[in-house]
A and B are shown apart, each in its own frame.
Chain A
């Protein structure tokens, strides 16, 4: 994690990722000080759901920058060094999960919770929070699901190659290709059920469910949860097979 912070472009990215947060904070401030503005811009549960959706771009960027987490270790044969120390494979994977989880939560959970606190501070009351008490667990749960899915996916892909660039291209390919394929199949068949092939769409369905949105989901929430669990499961199986000190080519 510390090595990523050494790069100026990464520091800039983290700074820029707080742009939407600043915009929302300003929105909450004016909504709390001006009654006319409040009619249009007052905080609602959907505001937080939209904020987390907007952060999707930054989630994608901070995750794709973790593409070398295992790939670099494979390139430099560091895996056999790690695993020749008193360290289990599970501990190694858990250690590698920390940076993507931390960065994703850093651009989703942290600013969303701070926004909630700012709303209370600017409004000078806890009325909004009391009326929408589910927001606290909703923000936490959705951020955790998003972080876990992205972290497992990038780690699994990273374990498949020795090139971080190749891993980054694979990750971007999966994210954009599945989204594009969904749109194409939806246009051809007219069915929104093809959303199951797109992890991004599944996250949207889950977000709508968690935030009690009135938008008609493409598929039932439980289907989206199953798809996410399958992706995480496949990623764990890949990691189990690839994280070995000795690569046997039979």
Chain B
């Protein structure tokens, strides 16, 4: 099996519950190497899955493997090879950034001198180079997100778990964080699993996605594949007798769904193009009053997966 095909995380029939509430129920999923988005509405079980994979939560049943290691048998080995950026604010009190990141490196097994050197490098990489001697408790929300990323990266992990990394960030900071994550995944060749409920974040940074809903897998696969075949969806409004026009579109192999009273969504394959719609309308004496491209997004995939459409 090639490196690219080797799953970094594998879950088999995993169930986790809090009291009587099931957070994950019989979940089986495979996370390929590269950047994988873990999508789902709040309460879908994303954070629970990450914590179970880290060995912080014991599942009620099922098997989990991370980087080929059994989570139940080798939690410490796994934690030594992964980086975890938690969802909420987390830091060690009364430390400045460079001491904190270096200490995290030492906890992961780096010698003190190497940990300190890596801390400086990583803090520059995440954009905190100038603020590295400040106490973390004085940091803004955006800076706290960056320091969490830095401590997860300091020991050069094979796999990164990022739990809602853009939470609470302003638009500029969010864009910069997404750029960092994209760079980590695509240029630094570090596998990552990005848990988020923000679809654009996942779409921008990841190649694969696993959609969770109500503690189960709603859908999973490469984002490009899930978005469907290549082509474009158009919003179309016409004036005139539409029945024959609709029949002609169907006969021509165009997929057509009515959405509102007079607007329909038409899927036009790449080889046809929008001009074909005008030609067909002219042939059936129908006037095209509105034609707008509607690109299928991850949002469409997500909405379909969790049953919102």
Residue numbers in A under 8 Å from B20 (CB-CB): 250
Q: Does A246 contact B (CB under 8 A)?
A: yes
How far does the alpha carbon of A76 sit from the alpha carbon of B90 in the complex, in Å? 5
Q: Return the contact of B86 from the options A81, A86, A87 (Cβ within 8 A).
A: A81
Interface string of B80-92 (1 = CB under 8 A from A): 1000101011111
**Residues from 122 to 157 in B contacting A, C-beta threshold 8 Å:** 137, 151
Within B62-104, which residues are at the interface with A (CB < 8 Å)?
76-77, 79-80, 84, 86, 88-94, 104
Question: Cα distance A59–B104 when bound, in Å?
Answer: 31
Report yes or no: B51 in contact with A245, Cβ–Cβ below 8 A: yes
B19 proximity list for chain A (CB < 8 A): 248, 250
- Over the window 11-31 of chain A, the binary record of Cβ atoms lying under 8 Å from chain B Cβ atoms (1 yes, 0 no) is 000000000000000000000
Q: CA A40 – CA B176 in complex, angstroms?
A: 77
Give A68 Cβ to nearest chain B Cβ, in Å. Answer: 8
Supposing A77-B86, A77-B88, A250-B18 touch, asked if A84 and B54 sit within 8 A by C-beta, the answer is yes
- Return the chain A residue nearest B136 by Cβ: A76
B91's nearest neighbour on chain A, judged by CB, is A76
- Smallest CB gap from A164: residue in B: B93
- A245 touching B56, Cβ below 8 Å: yes
- Chain A residue with the shortest CB-CB distance to B78: A86
Contact B86 A84 (CB under 8 A): yes
Cβ of B253 within 8 Å of any chain A Cβ, yes or no, is no
* A80-B86 contact given A85-B79, A85-B104, A86-B76, CB 8 Å threshold: yes
Q: Mark A30-67, 1 if CB is under 8 A from B, else 0.
A: 00000000000000000000000000000000000000
Distance A250 CA – B56 CA, assembled complex (angstroms): 17
Which of A72, A78, A246 lies in contact with B51, CB distance below 8 A? A246
Q: How far is the CA of A78 from the CA of B21 in the complex (A)?
A: 27
Please give, as numbers and ranges, the residues of chain A lying within 8 Å of B281 by CB-CB distance. none
Residues in A with CB closer than 8 Å to B80 are 85-86
Q: Are A78 and B104 in contact (CB under 8 A)?
A: no
- Residues from chain B with a CB closer than 8 A to the CB of A3 are 94
CB proximity of A80 to chain B, nearest CB, Å: 5
B108 interface residue per 8 A CB criterion: yes
The verdict on A192 contacting chain B, using a C-beta distance below 8 Å, is no
Provide the B31-49 mask, 1 if CB < 8 A to any CB of A, else 0: 0000000000000000000
Per-residue contact bits, chain A 228-250, to B (CB 8 Å; 1 contact, 0 not): 00000000000000001110101
- The answer on a CB contact under 8 Å between B56 and A80 is yes
Q: Measured between alpha carbons, how far is A87 from B104 in the docked complex, in Å? A: 11
Query: Distance in Å from the Cβ of B8 to the closest Cβ of chain A?
Result: 17
Whether the Cβ atoms of A82 and B107 lie closer than 8 Å is: yes
Contacts of B94 in A (CB 8 A): 3, 72
Of the candidates A81, A83, A86, A245, which one forms a contact with B151 in the assembled complex, judged by CB atoms under 8 Å apart? A81
B57 at the interface (CB under 8 A from A): yes
Q: Which residues of A contact B137 (CB under 8 A)?
A: 76
Complex CA gap A248/B56 in Å reads 11
Residue contact A78 to B90, C-beta cutoff 8 Å: yes
Query: Residues of A contacting B54 with CB < 8 Å?
Result: 84, 245
In contact, A81 and B104 (Cβ under 8 angstroms): yes
Q: Does A88 contact B (CB under 8 A)?
A: yes
Do B76 and A88 touch across chains, with their CB atoms under 8 A apart? yes
| B109 contacts partner chain A, Cβ-Cβ < 8 Å | yes
B305 to chain A, nearest CB (A): 27
Query: Is A87 a contact partner of B93 (Cβ separation < 8 A)?
Result: no
- Which residues of the partner chain B approach A193 to less than 8 Å between Cβ atoms? none
Interface centre among A78, A81, A248 (most CB of B within 10 A): A81
Contact for B57 among A85, A86, A246, CB less than 8 A: A246
The smallest beta-carbon distance between B24 and chain A, in angstroms, is 13
Which B residues touch A82, using CB under 8 A?
A: 92, 107
**A86 touching B79, Cβ below 8 Å:** yes
Q: Which residue of A lies closest to B107 (CB)?
A: A85
A246 & B56 in contact (Cβ 8 Å cutoff): yes
Indicate if the CB atoms of B89 and A84 lie closer than 8 Å: no
Decide if A86 touches B92 in the complex (CB within 8 Å).
Answer: no
Per the bound structure, the CA–CA distance linking A78 and B79 in Å amounts to 16
Find chain B residues with CB under 8 A from A250 CB. Answer: 18-21
Q: With A84-B79, A86-B77, A246-B57 given, is the CB distance from A78 to B107 under 8 Å?
A: no
Instruction: Choose one: A77, A245, A246; the contact of B89 (CB below 8 Å).
Output: A77
How far, in angstroms, from A75 to B94 measured CA to CA in the complex? 12
Q: B18 touches which one: A77, A81, A88, A248 (CB < 8 A)? A: A248
Are A78 and B93 closer than 8 Å at their CB atoms? Answer: yes
Check A86 against B107 for contact (C-beta < 8 Å).
yes
Whether the Cβ atoms of B18 and A84 lie closer than 8 Å is no
Besides A73-B93, A77-B90, 10 other A-B contacts (C-beta < 8 A): A73-B92, A76-B92, A76-B137, A78-B91, A81-B151, A84-B79, A85-B104, A85-B107, A246-B51, A250-B18
Q: What are 26 A-B interface contacts by the 8 Å CB criterion?
A: A72-B93, A73-B92, A76-B90, A76-B91, A76-B93, A76-B137, A77-B86, A77-B88, A77-B89, A78-B91, A80-B56, A81-B84, A81-B92, A81-B104, A82-B92, A82-B107, A84-B54, A84-B56, A84-B79, A85-B104, A85-B108, A86-B77, A86-B79, A86-B107, A87-B76, A246-B51
